[in-house]
Amino acid sequence: MVKPRQTSIDYMKGGLVIGMVLAHALQLLSKPTGLFWLFSTTINLITFSGFFFCFGYVFFLSYLTKPFADVKTKMAKTAIKSLFAYYLSGFSAYLLLSPRFLGKPYPITLDEILQLITFSKVAWFSEFLLTFFLITGLVLVFFKGFRQLAHSPMTTLCLGLVCLLTAYLLPTDLIVPQPMALLIGTKNYFIFPVVQYLPIFLIGIYFSNYEVGWNRTVLALSLFATGLLVSYYVSHQAMPAEFLPSVYWLVGSYGILYGYYVAAKWLEHRPNPLNWLLSIGRNTLFYLLVSNFILFALSNHIQTKPEIAFLIGAITLLIITFLFSLLTQSPKTHSETQVRSVPIL
């Protein structure tokens, strides 16, 4: 008997995608202030951590519950898919955003292309795709260790705390050469380092393995973590660093993401599924890439008020949904959906 697909994570990813596209529109097409700045900053805070949590959650179900021999090929394909997506988004970012960020067209030379391919340069608005490639590769290499971690909450907790401790101990002006920077971060590039963000991936694995739902202890801990971020902002009148990530930035998303997770669990048990939101959540990579192409291109021609940029972001979502409907067959009903291989995001 085939186990029904857990749609809660699809709902959660759908919500994250919507916020991401709207925030990208605000950041690329305007200079957000006031409530728009608050919205944009909050989305920046939760988006990568949220996707990484979801990745860990589905990763456990799709890979870590099965023998390595049965999943190694699928894991390798997932890694290659995420790497290809990074290159596609990265090249489009350099081609379309260079006039704005560098003040000149992107110099298409062999040296520049090699720097992007070898990660000597990390492309704008594409960084987290690279982190998905790296974490998949790490699990592929250390599969047995991650599988043991999945069934050892205390070891997982200790490893997670050590990873967060590195964010606290590393100097804020740290400059690390590539490719080491991809693992622990650097001040020179916008990177989501694997080590510092590993705890949220492990939390996703834990939630999946132990089927965590509404839990008062988890609620209290997640709100405490977000409270640390709030206290930092109140005392410093500024947000903690995102690149190189501060420990306050890393844990600040936990309370909001747990709210997303609980809401997604509630939606999962609704008698009438929100198929439009499920579709977005099941096709996050398509929405990410197409929205990037559209917004990158528009950013060279449109700089407007935050209200208009927000509206353009909403229209972009509608356009992508329409395009996707043209490219696919009618979606399956809720009762027909089944477990698939882990999606890229």
Mean pLDDT of the chain: 91
Q: What is the CA radius of gyration of the chain?
A: 20
Average pLDDT (323-345) is 58
The model's pLDDT over 82-118, given as tens digits with 9 standing for 90+, comes to: 999 999 999 999 899 988 777 777 777 888 889 889 9
Domain assignments of the chain as residue spans, ordered by start: 8-336
Average pLDDT (238-250) is 94
Q: Which two tokens stand for residue 287?
A: 């929405």
333, pLDDT greater than 60: no
Whole-number Å distance between alpha carbons of 202 and 60: 10
**pLDDT (0 to 100) of residue 2:** 43
pTM: 0.92
> How many alpha carbons fall within 13 Å on the CB side of residue 192?
29
Give yes or no for a contact between 189 and 243, defined as CB atoms under 8 angstroms apart.
yes
**pLDDT (0 to 100) of residue 176:** 77
pLDDT band at 344; cut points 50, 70, 90: very low
Of 314, 299, 284, 248, the C-alpha closest to 39 is 314
Which residues are registered as beta bridge partners of 4? 338
334, pLDDT greater than 50: no
Average pLDDT (5-22) is 95
Whole-number Å distance between alpha carbons of 305 and 308: 5
**pLDDT (0 to 100) of residue 303:** 94
**pLDDT (0 to 100) of residue 121:** 86
Whole-number Å distance between alpha carbons of 92 and 15: 25
**pLDDT (0 to 100) of residue 110:** 85
The model's pLDDT over 253-293, given as tens digits with 9 standing for 90+, comes to: 999 999 999 999 999 999 999 999 999 999 999 999 999 99
Cα 313 to Cα 18, 29, 302: the distances in Å are 9, 9, 12
Q: Which of 18-27, 121-130, 139-148, 222-231 has the lowest mean pLDDT?
A: 121-130
Q: Which of 179-193, 238-252, 288-302 has the lowest mean pLDDT?
A: 179-193
